[in-house]
Structure 1
Amino acid sequence: MSFEYEGTVTTSASPKDVWHLWSDVGSWHCWDPSVQQVCMEGHFAEGAAGTMTLTGGVEAPFVLEIVEPCSRFLDRVTMGDLVFHIDHEVKATDSGSEVTVRTHISGPGAVDMGPMVAGDTPQALEALVRMAEQNS
């Protein structure tokens, strides 16, 4: 069983401004309503691991599988038998950037869990680009 979701927004902020927020895991709770806190060991680079505390106090370990500075990162979150791959991509446009988040969930119950997990993505994207625009 699997679930997939994709959301895209445009912004006047540059890819660098968006990347600054993405690579600062301590700020994730400021723009993502599903995140309370993120702790990561080491730098924001491939292989770095940490723990996300989600709204409601659920802790979920994650690993950065792909990190392409100012362009893309893919994190893998594991919760029991469920595996979440969340792919974040920012591309330059003539007027700023296009920001896309793709969520893929696999494992038993993925179809049921998916809408709950991805439900906050539009809010998170809008808050992210607002913060990036304020910081640009």
Structure 2
Amino acid sequence: MTWRREYTQLTTATPEAVWKRWTTPEDWATDDPDLREATFPVPARVGAVGRVVNHGTPAQKIVFTELQPGYAMNFRISLPGATLSFPHRMHMTPNGLSVTHAVEISGPLAKLYGLLVGRSIAAGLPAVVRLVTTNALADAVGWTTP
């Protein structure tokens, strides 16, 4: 069983600027209001292990499962009876760069975790994608965002 939600936004940011936000641990907490801290080796590579700490929750181990510069990034968190993944995708369209962040839960307890944590993570995806794309644009022109 798989539970999945995603959010997509168009931007004039470059794939390189978005990729930098996706692969710089210090940028993750700036781009995700629910995240307090992220640590992982740079440059990130498939199989690399890091950790994320959300506000009010214990640290979670992450493992990078996909890194395709300028196109895709994914990492997973193992849960008892399920795997929580965060697929990120981008591609050029005639109207700009399409940036998608998703939350996907797979395994025998996917439906339960979807109810317990998936819905709240999915509710935060629009804010995260907006911040990633806004901050990627600001990086490109040297602006500082609040």
Scaled by the length of structure 1, the TM-score of the pair is 0.90
> Aligned partner of 1:110: which letter?
Y
CA-CA distance at 1:71 after TM superposition? 1.1
- Kindly tell me the number of residue pairs found equivalent between the two proteins: 136
Distance 1:89 1:119 in 2: 18
Residue matched to 1:29: 29
For the structure 1 residues 80 and 41, does the alpha-carbon distance in structure 2 shift closer, same or farther, using more than 3 Å as the test? farther
For the Cα contact (< 8 Å) 2:102–2:125, is it kept in 1? Answer: no
Residue matched to 2:43: 43
Q: Which runs of 5+ in 2 are unaligned?
A: 141-146
Q: What secondary structure is seen at the aligned counterpart in 1 of 2:86? A: strand
Residue matched to 2:113: 110
Residue matched to 1:133: 137
For the Cα contact (< 8 Å) 1:26–1:38, is it kept in 2? Answer: yes
> Aligned partner of 2:5: which letter?
Y
CA-CA distance at 1:42 after TM superposition? 5.1
> Aligned partner of 1:121: which letter?
L
Q: Which has the higher strand share?
A: 1
Distance 2:93 2:18 in 1: 13
Q: Which runs of 5+ in 1 are unaligned?
A: none
Residue matched to 1:89: 89
Q: What secondary structure is seen at the aligned counterpart in 1 of 2:33? A: coil
For the Cα contact (< 8 Å) 2:102–2:122, is it kept in 1? Answer: no
Distance 2:33 2:18 in 1: 17
For the Cα contact (< 8 Å) 1:4–1:105, is it kept in 2? Answer: yes
> Aligned partner of 1:134: which letter?
A
Q: Report percent identity of matched pairs.
A: 23
> Aligned partner of 1:75: which letter?
F
Structure 1 outlier segments of 4+, above 4 Å: none
> Aligned partner of 1:87: which letter?
P
Distance 1:42 1:9 in 2: 26
For the Cα contact (< 8 Å) 1:17–1:135, is it kept in 2? Answer: yes
Residue matched to 2:144: none
Distance 2:45 2:20 in 1: 13
Scaled by the length of structure 2, the TM-score of the pair is 0.85
